[in-house]
């Protein structure tokens, strides 16, 4: 469903046969490397050079950050397409179909094109071990090159410096935000994590940092490499605009951005970089492209009466943003916020629940039967030190927790389902018909 399943001892020894399905390839990819995450570029670089002896003839735009990456990638994609530029977007993880990760011309890659890309990577691999993510990243590059895409907008999977996406030297870069997540891989403070994120920078390239308080490690790396780094508050500003709008000012230009439901700092970063990517695009066309940006699973309303909002926020920084949005949405009204929360065991559960505690009136804790998922009892123990309104309820699954929340909801109440991509995908499957999947 989401990123990848558990390792499978039943996976075939050799690669799938010619004509195999996407699912057969993904099943095999889950088992070809001993670990799910193995940061480092050496192995990926070997295979990349076999696939691309020279750098691909395209503009590479790399986006890193703790939160908001998907929003920035999708906004940049929308802007470039509005300017008539051929564009590919690579994002992760996915909600329903792996194909969601690779978009060409705004459309998900076909099964046939994806399988062809997998076959090309496997032919070039020649025994080099690649993780699921690394293999898929190289396949996205192959697909973009095969389609003749001129602009590759790439979302970093984890960190930046050692992420597979960073094997390609970007021509432009964005760092959306720097906060604490993935401590076991990236470190436990913003300076160390900022160093990892800034690893996507290259000498002299244009870049944007959307974090309003960037760590000194980001600024130092940008200065050392003479990166043309644009910063919020210095090179562009955000201020309240018309109702429901935020006014972005870049020099003499003023651009209206939607205040929600997407992270406005991430949307602004895309708009700022676009003035260098496609300076010929009119402000009217730019605003129109941005107003239409949608990211499934990011503060998305998927049901009414009661309203059910889903959000993929899974760390304290994202939870604080979500809480602010819910607070503004409620605006002192009588309705309650009922939260369905399911999480993975390696996340800062206590920090996430603490960030949401002041806005949630009742908690419905959902067990996740996925790799690294917490069952409801473990989740209850993890949050026992956090002061909450009302006694949390514990449920064996997202489906059970969501059903209980919907049964308890009264007129004016809102239900928010969040905590991981798994949690959101399960809720979306429950409430949306297949025809409305992204």
pLDDT at 433 over 70: no
Per-residue model confidence (pLDDT) at position 435: 41
% of the chain beyond a pLDDT of 70: 92
Taking residue 2's Cβ as centre, other Cβ atoms within 10 Å add up to 20
Same domain, 325 and 271: no
Residue 324 belongs to some domain of the structure: yes
Pairing of strands 102-104, 206-209: unpaired
Report the sign of the C-alpha dihedral through residues 319, 323, 329, 333, in that order. Answer: positive
Tell me, yes or no, whether 260 and 318 share the same domain.
Answer: no
Domain-located, residue 2: no
What whole-number distance in Å separates Cα of residue 155 and Cα of residue 69?
Answer: 6
Mean pLDDT along residues 48-70: 95
Give the residue from 237, 260, 291 where a domain finishes.
291
pTM beyond 0.85: yes
Q: How confident is residue 31, by pLDDT bands cut at 50, 70 and 90?
A: confident
> What stretch of H or E contains 386?
none
Is the pLDDT reported for residue 255 higher than 80? yes
CATH number at residue 323: 3.90.190.20
3-state secondary structure 359-378: CCCEEEEECCCCCCECCHHH
- Per DSSP, the chain holds a count of helices (H) and strands (E) of 15, 17
CA–CA dist 17, 118 (Å, integer): 12
Q: Are residues 283 and 350 in the same domain?
A: no
Residue 244's CATH number:
3.40.1190.10
On the CB side of 171, CA atoms within 13 Å amount to 13
Whether 11 shows a pLDDT value over 70: the answer reads no
Q: In terms of Cα–Cα distance, which of 42, 57, 17 is closest to 146?
A: 57
Q: Do 162 and 268 belong together in one domain?
A: yes
Question: pLDDT digit string (tens) for 268-298?
Answer: 999 999 999 999 999 999 999 998 899 989 9
Predicted local confidence at residue 212, as pLDDT: 93
Question: Can you tell me the distance from the alpha carbon of 264 to that of 248, in angstroms, rounded to the nearest whole number?
Answer: 10
**Structural domain count of the chain:** 2
Domain shared by 401 and 309, yes or no = yes
Are 331 and 280 in the same domain? no
Residue percentage of the chain with pLDDT more than 90: 75
Q: Is residue 111 part of a domain?
A: yes
7 assigned to some structural domain? no
Does residue 12 fall inside a structural domain? no
Average pLDDT over residues 157-167: 92
Structural domain including 388 reads 300-436
pLDDT score recorded for residue 346: 82
Question: Do both 226 and 81 map to the same domain?
Answer: yes
* 370 band by pLDDT with thresholds 50, 70 and 90: confident
Same domain, 283 and 309: no
- Whether residue 119 is contained in a domain is answered as yes
pLDDT digits (tens, 9 = 90+) for 206-245: 999 999 999 999 999 999 999 999 999 999 999 998 888 9
Q: Nearest 5°: phi and psi at 54?
A: -125, 160
For residue 13, the model assigns a pLDDT of 66
Helix (H, G, I), strand (E, B) or coil at 316: helix
């Amino acid at each position: 469903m989401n990123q990848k399943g558990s390792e499978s001892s039943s996976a075939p020894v050799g690669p799938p046969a010619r004509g195999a399905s996407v699912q057969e390839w993904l099943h095999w990819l889950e088992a070809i490397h001993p670990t799910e995450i193995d940061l480092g570029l050496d192995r990926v670089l070997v295979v990349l050079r076999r696939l691309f002896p020279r750098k691909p003839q395209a503009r590479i735009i790399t986006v890193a950050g703790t939160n908001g990456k998907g929003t920035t990638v999708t906004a940049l994609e929308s802007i470039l397409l509005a300017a008539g530029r051929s564009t590919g977007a690579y994002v992760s993880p996915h909600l329903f179909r792996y194909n969601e990760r690779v978009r060409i011309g705004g459309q998900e890659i076909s099964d046939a094109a994806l399988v062809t890309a997998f076959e090309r990577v496997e032919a070039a691999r020649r025994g080099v071990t690649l993780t699921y993510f690394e293999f898929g990243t190289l396949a996205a590059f192959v697909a973009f090159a095969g389609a003749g895409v001129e602009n590759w907008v790439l979302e970093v999977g984890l960190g930046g410096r050692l992420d597979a996406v960073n094997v390609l030297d970007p021509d432009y870069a964005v760092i959306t935000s720097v906060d604490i997540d993935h401590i076991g891989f990236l470190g436990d403070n913003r300076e160390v994590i900022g160093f990892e994120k800034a690893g996507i920078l290259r000498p002299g390239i244009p870049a944007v940092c959307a974090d309003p308080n960037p760590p000194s490690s980001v600024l130092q790396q940008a200065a050392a490499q003479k990166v043309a780094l644009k910063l919020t508050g210095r090179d562009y500003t955000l201020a309240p605009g018309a109702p429901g709008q935020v006014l972005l000012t870049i020099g003499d230009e003023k651009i209206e951005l939607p205040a929600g439901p997407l992270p406005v700092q991430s949307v602004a970063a895309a708009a700022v970089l676009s003035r260098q990517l496609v300076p010929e695009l009119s402000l009217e066309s730019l605003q129109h492209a941005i107003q239409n940006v949608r990211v499934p699973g990011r503060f998305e309303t998927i049901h009414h009466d009661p309203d059910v909002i889903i959000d993929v926020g899974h760390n304290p920084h994202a939870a604080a943003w979500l809480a602010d949005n819910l607070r503004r949405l409620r605006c002192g009204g009588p309705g309650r916020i009922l939260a369905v929360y399911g999480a993975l065991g390696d996340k800062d559960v206590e920090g996430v629940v603490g960030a949401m505690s002041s806005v949630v009136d009742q908690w419905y804790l959902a067990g996740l039967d996925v790799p690294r998922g917490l069952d409801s009892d473990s989740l209850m123990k993890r949050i026992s030190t956090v002061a909450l309104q009302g006694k949390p309820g514990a449920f064996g699954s997202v489906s059970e927790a969501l059903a209980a929340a919907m049964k308890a909801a009264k007129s004016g109440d809102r239900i928010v389902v969040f905590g991981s991509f798994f949690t959101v995908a399960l809720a979306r499957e429950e409430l949306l018909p297949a025809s409305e999947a992204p």
